[in-house]
Structure 1
Amino acid sequence: MKAQILVLYKKGIGKKRIAQILGISKNTVKGVVRTDQAGPSLVVPGKSSSESCEADWSSSIDWEKVREELGHRYATIRCLHAEHAPAGDDYLRFWRELKRSIPTDPAERARIRFQHKPGQRVEIDYCDGIGVTDRKTGATKKTHLSAGVSSFSDYTFGEFSVTQKREEFIASQDRMHYFFAGVLPYLVVDNLKSGVSQAHIYDPDVNPVYIDYANHMEFAVLPARPRTPRDKPSIEGNIGVIQRQFFAETRNRVFYSLGELNVCFREYLKRLNNEVMKDYGVTRAERFATEKPLLKPLPAVAFETAEYRTAKVHPDCHIQVEKNFYSVPYRFIRETRLRMRNLNRHWP
């Protein structure tokens, strides 16, 4: 391209006309001509000065090591740029060169951009949390971050818990719905055992207790496909934001209780939901306010958590549940298909 510009310019064709012929901007033509008129410089034979500089810059970076570190869970291109690129180097150039150096199939790069309707869908997911330290022993207990986000507005809820067990999983979602002050009709959930008993790309089995909860709240469960984060891009993106912001802000802080950690995180969520988003020019809270009237009302009664078990009927026509015996019809003797449902009232 640069050679063509110089050939046309030396033929006496004006810069504006050259830009029209080659379909480029006039400033690009001016820059090439200005560089040529500045005089010769040390270049690699057969290459322009800019190509030579580009080659020198590229060879100064260990791209193989960069690509290897990019596979790390929390590594970002911006972080790798700061560590491997020369001081003061342009981030965009580093990003383009890295993308060029990673061979990909064009089909793998194809994406579908979802246009989410307001008040339709919420996505939830877990990730590793921030450790809580015991004041007496100094031992650190692992936590998990449970987060939920409206697909339309990106309005975000989250809290830290000690486990991902079914009781905490459902309790966290209860608090999410009360945080939203309503229920969205579709909920996309990751394939953790508390929500999905058996993951499958076409026909997953949803946990029966979770089905009860979904029926109580009146939403449909949409399990994401296994190892397919693109099925829930909103929550994946927002968890990334939380990790880069909140996790980074508190990396040197010690939390001594789960309550202290969650209080700090709630303050962060207020900031996050009230920050202006670059793509929309409004905050998450403002976008959520437009879809909030479309949400279903919260149920008037609390959800009762059920514990399902299968039991074999004894010859005396009884089954045993938690040291208690219950009689059943004699025709079920030695049958194992009986499923018991033990209710526990659950409050958010």
Structure 2
Amino acid sequence: MHRLQDLVRLHRLGVGPRTIARRLRMSPNTERQYRRALATRGLLAGDVTALPELTTLREAVVAALPPKTPPQQVSSAARWTETVTPWLTGGATPTAIYDRLRLEHPDFTGSLSAVKRLCLRLQRARGIQPDDVAIPVETAPGELAQVDFGYVGRLYDAATRVLRKAWVFVLVLGYSRHLFCRIVFDQRIETWLACHAEAFAALGGVPAVIVPDNLKAAVIRAAFGVAGATTLNRSYRECARHYGFQVDPTPIRSPEKKGKVEAAVKYVKRNFFAARREELDAGVLGRELARWAREIAGQRRHGTTQRRPLEVFTTVEQPALRALPVEPYVPTVWHVARVHPDAHVCVGRALYSVPWRLIGERVLVRVTPTALSIYAADARVATHDRVPAGRRSTQEAHLPPQRRDLRHRSQSYWQTRAEQLGPEVGAYIREVFATDDVLAQLRTVQQIVRHLERFPVARARAACVRARFYGSYSYPALKAILAKALDQQPLPGTDASAPAPLTAPRFARDLRAQLALTHEEARHVTH
């Protein structure tokens, strides 16, 4: 009952003015003003059980006691109403509006309090809009799970032996509110996928829909509206296809759309981590967190459902989850990489070759624990086995044909290639390497061997024999021998073999047979 109605009721019961003021917690002067205003309208007298309507009492009081207006009638921020209105509608806070006014409008002299009052008046004038109404969403068992990360401070990482920033990965089932939690040291896609795989294994099934935040491990491009397009991370898409769940990303700047996991993250941080500030070892906290999720979070009576999450999960929701795939999940991660000038891409601090014509282009790299595939324009252009960090995997076909051999810097490699052309070439290359005991002759040998491979083996051997005879161990000298066909001439001091008889061309006629035929024809003509 309103205080005005109480005042009339107590007055009709015969209670004194001071007692009425004390019971209604108002000053005697205020009680007197209200009593006189109501008495003027004849509202104090009457039956106790038939009190006047509250609107009638208020009209009588306002008529007798009009509200006092402040001395300042116009706010210092009122002239900026048209400027502030679209900012406020767009979601800007009063502090943000105040800072922008100061930055962009030098003639603004209002205070932050004035801007706050202006925003409050505009919000009241706007009223409650349909978008302001929070619509509760009920989910069926096994239908939905929400996932998110929450920062929990710096914890000790046993792998690196240093304190690192740590987060807690939380998955909460929409129906039972059962939790799965893991401590992680990054939010990379590899960690994101591993957390999902561990969560599904721990739950013994897969929810139909996963609602993630707009982190890059899940969503590359978020939709800014209903008509906007959402682009999922390729790695997350493959994970969803393997386990058979769908992804429903949260709209951008709308954390309230995944309120279940937002509340769960706060609960984990305030209940578990806040009570264990003295423990910094992530390994110890991880084991305690798993036990806490079962025995504390799972056994509490949830404030919304008024049921125990673990009990509801075990009896109702777990049987409704989708079965785990028969084939084990192989984490697949997609990366965008740029092809370096050496026709390689860097993935996991290791280098992998691609066709050299893609230098400078961006390619997609699909990485599994054992293999790696590279795609350009949606076509696979290379496949490699994984190599350790710091190593290089190069396929000869990916390099330019005329330059791919230059990557080999071993003397034994080029010596072996020379031996394949013949012992004369092998001996000549050994002597080239030995011409200078300080200056390396690798580049000279590379030029010589690659040039000799363009000619028939007989000419390559003869050219090397002639170069050794004259002591010519440079690339220009050997190149000149072959260019001038000197390799086909005998060396000085050697007996030139007699020239071989000329052989008739393939389609030439036999001269002797032709002469015999002509003689026979002449004899017949004479006789």
TM > 0.5: yes
How far apart in 2 are the matches of 1:9 and 1:311? 82
Question: Are 2:152 and 2:269, in contact at CA under 8 Å, matched by a contact in 1?
Answer: no
Q: Which residue does the alignment assign to 1:291?
A: 317
Describe the superposition over 1:104-157 as per-residue Cα deviations: whole angstroms up to 9, x where unpaired. Answer: 75336421011111110000001102421479x996321011101011111111
How far apart in 1 are the matches of 2:274 and 2:339? 56
How far apart in 2 are the matches of 1:155 and 1:180? 9
Describe the superposition over 1:157-205 as per-residue Cα deviations: whole angstroms up to 9, x where unpaired. Answer: 1111010111111101111111211001100011111111122233221
How far apart in 2 are the matches of 1:295 and 1:122? 11
* Counterpart residue identity of residue 175, structure 1: E
Say if 1:320 and 1:142 are closer, same or farther in 2 by CA, change over 3 A.
closer
In the alignment, structure 1 residue 46 sits paired with structure 2 residue 70: no
Give, in angstroms, the shift of residue 35 of structure 1: 6.2
How far apart in 1 are the matches of 2:24 and 2:254? 53
In the alignment, structure 1 residue 7 sits paired with structure 2 residue 8: yes
How far apart in 2 are the matches of 1:285 and 1:190? 25
Picking from 298, 301, 304, the partner of 1:276 is 301
Give, in angstroms, the shift of residue 39 of structure 1: 7.8
Q: Which residue does the alignment assign to 1:62?
A: none
Give, in angstroms, the shift of residue 5 of structure 1: 2.6
> Aligned to 2:297, what secondary structure does the other structure show?
helix
Picking from 255, 259, 271, the partner of 2:280 is 255
Question: Are 2:279 and 2:285, in contact at CA under 8 Å, matched by a contact in 1?
Answer: no
Q: Which residue does the alignment assign to 1:173?
A: 196
Q: Which residue does the alignment assign to 1:204?
A: 230
Describe the superposition over 1:26-64 as per-residue Cα deviations: whole angstroms up to 9, x where unpaired. Answer: xxxxxxx9963978988373269xxxxxxxxxxxxxxxx
| Length-normalised TM-score, structure 2 | 0.45
How far apart in 1 are the matches of 2:285 and 2:180? 15
In the alignment, structure 1 residue 301 sits paired with structure 2 residue 318: no
* Counterpart residue identity of residue 119, structure 1: G
Q: Which residue does the alignment assign to 1:145?
A: 168
How far apart in 2 are the matches of 1:118 and 1:195? 24
Which is worse superposed, 165-174 or 242-251?
242-251
How far apart in 2 are the matches of 1:125 and 1:312? 31
How far apart in 2 are the matches of 1:5 and 1:259? 64
Question: Are 1:130 and 1:247, in contact at CA under 8 Å, matched by a contact in 2?
Answer: no
Q: Which residue does the alignment assign to 1:344?
A: 369
In the alignment, structure 1 residue 227 sits paired with structure 2 residue 253: yes
How far apart in 1 are the matches of 2:185 and 2:203? 23
Question: Are 1:309 and 1:339, in contact at CA under 8 Å, matched by a contact in 2?
Answer: yes
Describe the superposition over 1:195-235 as per-residue Cα deviations: whole angstroms up to 9, x where unpaired. Answer: 11122233221110110111011101111111101211110
Describe the superposition over 1:292-333 as per-residue Cα deviations: whole angstroms up to 9, x where unpaired. Answer: 11111111222223343567899xxx87675454679xxx87
Question: Are 1:310 and 1:336, in contact at CA under 8 Å, matched by a contact in 2?
Answer: no
> Aligned to 1:241, what secondary structure does the other structure show?
helix
> Aligned to 1:296, what secondary structure does the other structure show?
coil
Give, in angstroms, the shift of residue 272 of structure 1: 0.6
Structure 1 unaligned blocks of 5 or more: 14-32, 49-70, 72-99
Picking from 240, 252, 267, the partner of 2:291 is 267
* Counterpart residue identity of residue 126, structure 1: F
How far apart in 1 are the matches of 2:209 and 2:189? 19
How far apart in 1 are the matches of 2:339 and 2:286? 46
Describe the superposition over 1:48-84 as per-residue Cα deviations: whole angstroms up to 9, x where unpaired. Answer: 9xxxxxxxxxxxxxxxxxxxxxx9xxxxxxxxxxxxx
Say if 1:3 and 1:169 are closer, same or farther in 2 by CA, change over 3 A.
same
Say if 1:138 and 1:173 are closer, same or farther in 2 by CA, change over 3 A.
closer
How far apart in 2 are the matches of 1:273 and 1:148? 13
How far apart in 2 are the matches of 1:312 and 1:262? 38
How far apart in 1 are the matches of 2:24 and 2:309? 54
> Aligned to 1:115, what secondary structure does the other structure show?
coil
> Aligned to 1:223, what secondary structure does the other structure show?
coil
Say if 1:130 and 1:37 are closer, same or farther in 2 by CA, change over 3 A.
closer
Picking from 20, 28, 31, the partner of 1:36 is 20
How far apart in 1 are the matches of 2:139 and 2:257? 13
How far apart in 2 are the matches of 1:221 and 1:203? 14
Q: Cα RMSD between the aligned structures?
A: 4.0
* Counterpart residue identity of residue 203, structure 1: A
Q: Which residue does the alignment assign to 2:139?
A: 116
> Aligned to 1:303, what secondary structure does the other structure show?
coil
* Counterpart residue identity of residue 145, structure 1: V
Structure 2 unaligned blocks of 5 or more: 33-94, 96-119, 372-527
Which is worse superposed, 271-280 or 231-240?
271-280
| Length-normalised TM-score, structure 1 | 0.65
Give, in angstroms, the shift of residue 273 of structure 1: 0.9
Question: Are 1:159 and 1:262, in contact at CA under 8 Å, matched by a contact in 2?
Answer: yes
How far apart in 2 are the matches of 1:240 and 1:35? 49
Say if 1:10 and 1:199 are closer, same or farther in 2 by CA, change over 3 A.
same
Q: Which residue does the alignment assign to 2:476?
A: none
Question: Are 1:276 and 1:284, in contact at CA under 8 Å, matched by a contact in 2?
Answer: yes
Say if 1:34 and 1:280 are closer, same or farther in 2 by CA, change over 3 A.
farther
In the alignment, structure 1 residue 128 sits paired with structure 2 residue 154: no
Picking from 264, 267, 287, the partner of 1:241 is 267
